[in-house]
Homo-oligomer: A and B are copies of this chain.
Amino acid sequence: MHTDTYGPAGDSPGGSVRVRLDVAYDGTGFSGWAIQPDQRTVAGAVLEALTRLFGSPTGLTVAGRTDAGVHATGQVCHVDVPAEAWQRLADTATRRLAGLLPGDIRVTRVGQAPPGFDARFSALSRRYAYRVADTAWGAPPLRRHDTLAWPWALDIERMNQAGQGLLGEHDFAAYCRRKEHGTTIRDLQRFDWHRDAAGIVIASVVADAFCQSMVRSLVGALLPVGDGRRPVEWPASLLSRRQRASEVTVVPPHGLTLTGVHYPTDPTRYAVRAGQTRNVRG
Interface residues of A (CB under 8 A from B): 24-26, 71, 73, 94-95, 97-98, 103-109, 135-142, 144-146, 151, 257
Contacts and interface: CB of A to CB of B under 8 A. Distances in A.
Contact of A107 (B109, B137, B257): B137
Contacts of A137: 94-95, 97-98, 106-109
A199 to B, nearest CB: 10
A98 B257 contact: no
A103 B138 contact: yes
A139 B103 contact: yes
A262 to B, nearest CB: 19
Contact of A140 (B73, B98, B135, B136): B73
A104 B73 contact: no
A108 B133 CA distance: 12
Q: Which 7 pairs, one residue from A and one from B, show the smallest C-beta to C-beta distance?
A: A26-B141, A95-B136, A94-B136, A98-B138, A98-B137, A104-B141, A106-B137
Q: How often does this chain occur in the complex, in copies?
A: 2
A30 to B, nearest CB: 10
A108 B95 contact: no
Contacts of A73: 140, 142
A142 B135 contact: no
A143 to B, nearest CB: 8
Contact of A106 (B24, B25, B140, B257): B140
Contacts of A142: 24, 26, 71, 73, 145-146, 257
A48 to B, nearest CB: 16
A137 B99 CA distance: 9
Contacts of A141: 24-26, 71, 103-106
A75 to B, nearest CB: 11
Given A95-B151, A106-B138, 9 more contacts: A24-B142, A95-B136, A103-B139, A105-B141, A106-B137, A108-B135, A108-B137, A109-B137, A142-B145
Nearest to A106: B137
Contacts of A151: 95
A114 to B, nearest CB: 22
